[in-house]
Amino acid sequence: MSIEKNNKVTIVTDDNLGECYSEFYEYYWEKKCNKGAVNVTFNEYVNSNCFLKLLDDMKNKLSDYNQSYGMIFSEDYDDPYDEFYFGENVICFFSGLGYDDVEDIIGYEEFYKYLVPACEFYVERRHPEHKEIVEQKLKEIREAYGLE
């Protein structure tokens, strides 16, 4: 099984998805991004065909519930007495077959530090033609989260 490449750009197909996931994990490891559930979720996102939409969802703090990975914004649970409440202004990343299998709860600053290399990977290795769009979406996310 080989990865179809065009000047370092990998076209993700059903046949090479495992290799594409490995490529992302290696890239993320080199960037010292080591949170398990965050890595799994962003790996799924950058290797999907809907990454740009997911960036819009992140900007709008819309949670993403999948069967085995995703991210939940604290705004979904604004009642501190709710049994699922996990804090204010944080994001819960999960991976595994149940929501509590592997979980990382991180603040907005740390989230952005993980998002930037995921976006760099997406632009460098998947869709260089989306560079300006991704840069604009990152700027919008920074503004939406009140990050400097």
pLDDT (tens digit per residue) in 73-130: 988 887 777 777 788 899 999 998 655 577 899 999 999 999 999 999 999 999 999 9
pLDDT of residue 76: 85
Q: Would the pLDDT of 7 be above 60?
A: no
Task: Quick: pLDDT tens for 56-65.
Answer: 999 999 999 8
Q: Which of 1-15, 58-72, 129-143 has the lowest mean pLDDT?
A: 1-15
Q: Would the pLDDT of 1 be above 60?
A: no
Please choose, from the candidates 62, 93, 94, 56, the residue with its C-alpha nearest in 3D space to the C-alpha of residue 75: 62
Higher pLDDT, 97 or 9: 9
Q: Residues near 24 by Cβ (< 8 Å), separated by ≥ 6? A: 42, 43, 46, 47, 121, 125
pLDDT of residue 133: 98
pLDDT of residue 79: 77
On whether the CB atoms of residues 17 and 27 are closer than 8 A, the answer is no
> Which 3 state secondary structure label does DSSP give 110?
helix
Mean pLDDT of 142-147: 96
Residue burial 56-84, b: 16+ Cβ < 10 Å; e: rest: eebbebebbeeeebbbbbbeebeeeeeee
Mean pLDDT of 133-146: 97
pLDDT of residue 66: 85
